[in-house]
Structure formats: C-alpha cells, structure tokens
Amino acid sequence: MIKPTLHSGEFTYPEGTYFQAGYLTQKNAGWRTARPVLDTNACVGCLQCYLHCPDGTILETDDKKVTFDLDFCKGCGICAKVCPKNAIAMTPERGLSQ
Amino acid sequence: MNTRELSKNEYFFGHKACAGCGGSLAVRIALKVLGDRAVAVLPAGCMSAVGFNFPQLAFANNAIISTFAGTASMMTGILAGLNARGEKDFTVVSFAGDGGTADIGIQALSGAIDRNDDILYICYDNEAYMNTGIQKSSLTPYGARTTTTPPGTVSRGNEFRKKDMLEIVRAQGIPYAATASIGYLQDYMNKVEKASKIHGTKYIHVLAPCPTGWGYATDDTVDIAKAAVDCGVWPLREFENGVYSETPARGGDKAEYLRRQTRFSHLTDEEVGAITGGSL
Ligand SMILES: Cc1ncc(C[n+]2csc(CCOP(=O)(O)OP(=O)(O)O)c2C)c(N)n1
Ligand code: SF4
Ligand code: SF4
Ligand code: SF4
Ligand SMILES: [Mg+2]
C-alpha cells in the first residue's frame, strides 16, 4: 500500500528544491479533542466513513468493519455524521487512555 | 469507480489541514481516483501550505508548488517535460483554490485552454483566500463576511456576486468542464475519472466547504456541501463536447443553508430573503 509514512531521526538535506514524497515527521493525534469509537455490532462495513474522512485515517478490517488510525485522526466527527448506521460515537479524549 | 474499487492507497495523508477540511477531502479523493501516475501542481493556498512542510511531505505521489499565478503554465511545462521523456499514462492535475483560480491564475488557465493542453485543472472552492486568513475572492458569495468584507453599519458583507467559472471556461470551448461537491463524492469521482480519460484541457470546480472560514462545526462539512447542491446554491453541472447538462436540485431551503454558517450571521431575515429570492 502506498501512503506517506513516519520517519524519525536524521535525514539528508536535498541538493535542490525537492524531497522524498510521502515523508512524515509528525503525528496529528494531539489535535484531537474527541475520538471516534466504533460499535462493531452496528457497523455494516459500507465504508461511507472511510470515503468521507478528509484525513484518510479509516481502514477496513479483515472482518469487513473499520478501524481508526488514531495517530493521524483529527477528531473532526465527519465519519460519525455520515455513518448511516450511527455506528460511530465521538467520545471526548479527556479521560480516555492514549 | 465506486468506493470499493477506489485505490486503497492514500496519496494525501498526514497533512496539516484543519480538522474537517473540505479541500483536503477533495484532494485525497481525486488522487485516489487518478492513482500513482498523477503529478500534482499546487499554487500557494491551503492545500500546498498543509501538504508541504519540509521535511514533512504529505503527498505520496509527485507533487510540486507552483507560483500563485502560474498553476496552469507549470502544468503545461510538466506535460511537455513528461512527453519529452516519452512517459505514457500519466495525469497532470492541479489543486488550486478559488483565489488561485478565478483571480490570480485565470490568465494562465485561459492560456492552457487556448492551447488545449492535456491537463486536468481542479479548483477546490472554499469561497475565500483561506490560507492568509479569509479574504474575499471573486468566488466569495454575496453577503458573506470575510476579513476584507467585514459587515457593519455600512457594509453588509461581500457586495459582489460569485463569478461563474464554468461559463468562462465553457466560452473558450474547453472539451470538458464540470462542477462538483464534496457532499456528492460519487459524482465527483465519476467526473474526475471521466475527465482523466479525455484528451485536452479539463476543468473541474469542486465546492469544498471550510469550517474555519465559513463558521460551522467540523463534522458538518460533508452535510453543508450536500445542502449547497440540494437547495440549488451550487448545482452539479457538466459540459462535455459542447453538450451541457445539469443535475436537478433535490430541493432544500436556501435560507437554512445560509443560516448554518456564521459568515452570514449578520444578515437580517429581509436580507436573507432578498438573497434567496434572487433580488440581491
Ligand atoms: C503572488 C502571491 N501573492 C500572494 C500570496 C499570499 N497567499 C498565499 S496563499 C493565499 C490565499 C490563497 O487563496 P485560495 O487560492 O482561495 O486558496 P485557499 O488558501 O483558500 O485554499 C495568498 C493570498 C502568495 N503566496 N503569492
Ligand atoms: S459508515 Fe458506519 S456502517 Fe459504514 S463502515 Fe463506517 S462505521 Fe461501518
Ligand atoms: S473523526 Fe474525522 S479524521 Fe477522525 S476518522 Fe473520523 S472523519 Fe477521519
Ligand atoms: S482554513 Fe479551511 S480550507 Fe484551509 S485548511 Fe483550514 S479548513 Fe481547510
Ligand atoms: Mg480559497
């Protein structure tokens, strides 16, 4: 699967005004005030949440449900709103374990 | 191409757009339709600002920032370069904002259409210069508050009407032009896919609501983009080989659409009525 990935440590400065595509150095998890939590029984695997996520942080699982990449999810709540089954609940981050 | 057929690859990921950004959804989905061989050109604007933060580069495909005014001319240059190298099966695509398209980059766009260069120009329209702090562009709708059209006792917000870019590119005889909305992603995906297979200049103008600039909750982006189409404020239009078509509006309340956004909150009921009734 092609996707920008996290890198850590030193990198080599480019000689021109170009650089490696898909090179990430930071997560976006700290932006989030609410976290999407899935009710797996309610989810029918229609992938509407995956399609509409502006950050591409929803992945299909082997059992045809979905999971969230919480390193990059910003907690916008779009997935919860577009889900036809109301299977996603936006839950305040405060009090949740990281 | 439906949701399941769409590439699982993520070409625009880890970017720094605000939570709930409509523009980033437009970029993400178009690149998933176009795939690895898309070369993206982005002028100054939110999508370049959130995608290229050296050393962090949120595009997995080849992507480059153009001069603000020169999006389409840089696309022409990339096209010429790839052709000279004998490359095949690629798409030169742009993601330019409303300011970058309808104001600053319109001359370069017009030139590319003149030459019928084989490029796919996508304008993501968030209806203002968002990256510099919400200034009015020629695609800002009538009545909207921006930092350069602040409502007060004299000004009632933006006093100019939104420019019709589709009619402008259509008047130049472009082979394909369409409007789209991130509220109707299947329609947008169909149009991007269709455009990528047509030779010549293609123009897609996608409405991409911005929670930060329009003033609504981040989870409302897709719903507002749908409502704009449903109530007829932003019709889905297509112009292909000289034939024009338009998806009929589903019905919806224009006033309610305006009232959902704080950029219109200063308008009185009479003013909203005049706008939705077409007399303003
Ligand atoms: C020639 C030039 N003028 C002005 C700027 C400053 N500038 C950078 S982004 C931007 C706003 C772009 O607005 P738009 O094209 O609508 O894209 P958005 O930020 O809304 O996505 C401006 C004015 C610039 N980078 N270059
Ligand atoms: S939109 Fe809802 S039902 Fe569909 S896959 Fe996502 S969580 Fe499951
Ligand atoms: S909350 Fe927003 S960013 Fe997070 S998974 Fe849902 S749609 Fe994506
Ligand atoms: S200001 Fe608007 S367009 Fe720019 S990144 Fe934020 S939500 Fe997206
Ligand atoms: Mg803009």
A35 touches chain B (CB under 8 A): no
Q: What is the DSSP string of chain A?
A: ----EE--S--PPPSSS---TTEE----GGG-SEEEEE-TTT-----HHHHH-TT--EEE-TTS-EEE-TTT-----HHHHH-TT--EEEEESTTS--
We report the CATH number of the domain holding residue B222 as: 3.40.50.970
Sole residue written with tokens 């659409």:
B257
Query: Of the candidates B117, B79, B125, B120, which has an alpha carbon nearest to the alpha carbon of residue B100?
Result: B125
The domain tally of chain B equals 1
Beta bridge partners of B203: B121, B177
Closest-CA residue of chain A to B16: A28
CB–CB contact A50 B11 (8 Å)? no
Mean pLDDT for the stretch of residues B227-240: 97
Neighbours of ion ligand 5 (CB under 5 A): B 97-98, 126, 130
Q: Report if residue A54 sits inside a domain.
A: yes
Distance B97 CA to ligand 1 centre (A): 8
Q: Report if residue A11 sits inside a domain.
A: no
Q: Report if residue A72 sits inside a domain.
A: yes
Which atom of ligand 4 sits closest to the CA of residue B49? Answer: 5
**How many Cα atoms sit within 13 Å of B53 on the Cβ side?**
15
pLDDT band at A96 (very low <50, low <70, confident <90, very high): confident
CA B46, B47, B50, B56 dihedral sign is: negative
The domain tally of chain A equals 1
**pLDDT score recorded for residue B163:** 97
**pLDDT score recorded for residue B262:** 98
Q: Report if residue A62 sits inside a domain.
A: yes
Q: Report if residue A17 sits inside a domain.
A: no
Sole residue written with tokens 């240059």:
B77
Q: Report if residue A97 sits inside a domain.
A: no
| pLDDT averaged over every residue in chain B | 97
pLDDT at A72 over 80: yes
pLDDT at A59 over 90: yes
Burial of A63: CB neighbours in 10 Å, binned 0-12, 13-18, 19+ = exposed
**pLDDT score recorded for residue B123:** 99
CB–CB contact A19 B29 (8 Å)? no
CB–CB contact A21 B62 (8 Å)? yes
Q: What is the pLDDT of residues B24-66, one digit of tens each?
A: 999 999 999 999 999 999 999 999 999 999 999 999 999 999 9
- Give residue B248's domain range: 3-276
Q: Which helix (H) or strand (E) holds B203?
A: strand B202-207
CB–CB contact B13 A72 (8 Å)? yes
- Give residue A69's domain range: 29-92
Residues above pLDDT 70, as percent of chain B:
100
**pLDDT score recorded for residue A17:** 86
Q: Which two tokens stand for residue B10?
A: 């993520």
Closest-CA residue of chain B to A48: B3
Q: What are the φ/ψ torsions at residue B158 (nearest 5 degrees)? A: -60, 125
Which atom of ligand 2 sits closest to the CA of residue A42? Answer: 3
Q: Report if residue A69 sits inside a domain.
A: yes
| pLDDT averaged over every residue in chain A | 95
Its pTM stands at 0.98
Closest ligand to C-alpha of residue B208 is: 4
Q: What is the pLDDT of residues B165-203, one digit of tens each?
A: 999 999 999 999 999 999 999 999 999 999 999 999 999
We report the CATH number of the domain holding residue A39 as: 3.30.70.20
Task: Please choose from A49, A52, A73, A96 the residue to mutate so as to test ligand 3's pocket, defined by most ligand atoms within 8 A of CB.
Answer: A73
C-alpha distances out from residue B19 to A69, B14, B196, B209, Å = 14, 12, 29, 12
Which atom of ligand 4 sits closest to the CA of residue B22? Answer: 8
Q: What is the pLDDT of residues A20-55, one digit of tens each?
A: 999 999 999 999 999 999 999 999 999 999 999 999
pLDDT band at B208 (very low <50, low <70, confident <90, very high): very high
**pLDDT score recorded for residue A98:** 59
Q: Report if residue A13 sits inside a domain.
A: no
Q: Which residues of B touch A50 (CB under 8 A)?
A: 3
Q: What is the pLDDT of residues B101-158, one digit of tens each?
A: 999 999 999 999 999 999 999 999 999 999 999 999 999 999 999 999 999 999 999 9
Which residues make Cβ contacts (< 8 Å) with residue A98, sequence separation at least 6? Answer: none
pLDDT band at A95 (very low <50, low <70, confident <90, very high): confident
